[in-house]
A and B are shown apart, each in its own frame.
Chain A
Amino acid sequence: AQSVAQPEDQVNVAEGNPLTVKCTYSVSGNPYLFWYVQYPNRGLQFLLKYITGDNLVKGSYGFEAEFNKSQTSFHLKKPSALVSDSALYFCAVSSHNTDKLIFGTGTRLQVFP
């Protein structure tokens, strides 16, 4: 069965510091991995995805993520956090075997000035 774990309910980071939001997954077959961001009372915004190819994926707003097959992880990173990055972040997984997209429980990122 597919599953996604986001082990941190909240991540706090000072503006200008690097940030990491963790995600590990379990899926049958080759994984398709996604990160979405949600601002208060808004819908989901797509950040980046890994389908195939380079393990390091670059996305919107300076975010990137690295696919690590041996550790079944897809952590979201940004070299220098902005206060405006404060939001709820979701990791999600599907695979080439299924279109079902399963989400993690989300991580709230708080960036302090």
Chain B
Amino acid sequence: NAGVTQTPKFQVLKTGQSMTLQCAQDMNHEYMSWYRQDPGMGLRLIHYSVGAGITDQGEVPNGYNVSRSTTEDFPLRLLSAAPSQTSVYFCASSYTFLGTGDYGYTFGSGTRLTVV
């Protein structure tokens, strides 16, 4: 298993450009989510999905779109990038082991995005 894979690791965009941050997991997790991390703000939830075809907004959804056509993939789209979207983005999925009751999250390694 590769876990949660995010691409690209680094990206520089010009204001107004669009791009898609990719997130894929091979663990058959139903729940996936996107966060942005900014200094002093912690990680803030952008969008999340409880399964294929279902998405919902988190704390800071404006300027971002998501879709979940498959269980494995949860891309984050910036339609018109703004300098305020300069941040580090993390994707995560959650797991539950019904037999043991264990529960937790797996995070990707992050995408550092700069909008100039």
Interface residues of A (CB under 8 A from B): 6, 9, 32, 34, 43-44, 46, 49, 51-52, 90, 92, 94, 99-106
Are A43 and B94 also in contact (CB < 8 A) when A100-B48, A103-B43 are? no
Chain A hits for B104, CB < 8 A: 34, 46, 49
Binds A, one of B20-28, B34-42, B74-82: B34-42
Chain B hits for A34, CB < 8 A: 104-105
- Do A52 and B101 touch across chains, with their CB atoms under 8 A apart? yes
Query: Which B36-76 residues have C-beta < 8 A from chain A?
Result: 40-45, 48, 50, 58-59
Interface residues of B (CB under 8 A from A): 31, 33, 35, 40-45, 48, 50, 58-59, 90, 92, 94, 101-105, 107-110
Most buried by A among B42, B48, B58, B90: B42
Are A44 and B31 also in contact (CB < 8 A) when A100-B45, A103-B43 are? no
Instruction: Tell me whether chain B's interface is mostly helix, strand or loop, or mixed.
Output: strand
- Do B42 and A90 touch across chains, with their CB atoms under 8 A apart? yes
19 A-B contacts, Cβ less than 8 Å apart? A9-B40, A34-B105, A43-B107, A43-B109, A43-B110, A44-B43, A46-B105, A49-B104, A90-B42, A90-B43, A99-B50, A99-B94, A100-B58, A101-B33, A101-B92, A103-B42, A103-B43, A105-B40, A106-B42
- Besides A34-B105, A51-B101, 4 new A-B residue pairs in contact (Cβ under 8 A), listed by A number: A34-B104, A92-B43, A99-B50, A106-B42
Chain A hits for B103, CB < 8 A: 32, 49, 51
Chain B hits for A94, CB < 8 A: 94
Are A104 and B105 also in contact (CB < 8 A) when A43-B90, A99-B31, A99-B50 are? no
> What's the Cα separation between A106 and B33 when bound, in Å?
19
> What's the Cα separation between A82 and B43 when bound, in Å?
26
Tell me the smallest distance from the CB of A4 to a CB of chain B, in Å.
8
Are A105 and B42 also in contact (CB < 8 A) when A43-B107, A99-B48, A100-B48 are? yes
Chain B hits for A9, CB < 8 A: 40
> What's the Cα separation between A103 and B94 when bound, in Å?
15
- Do A103 and B35 touch across chains, with their CB atoms under 8 A apart? yes
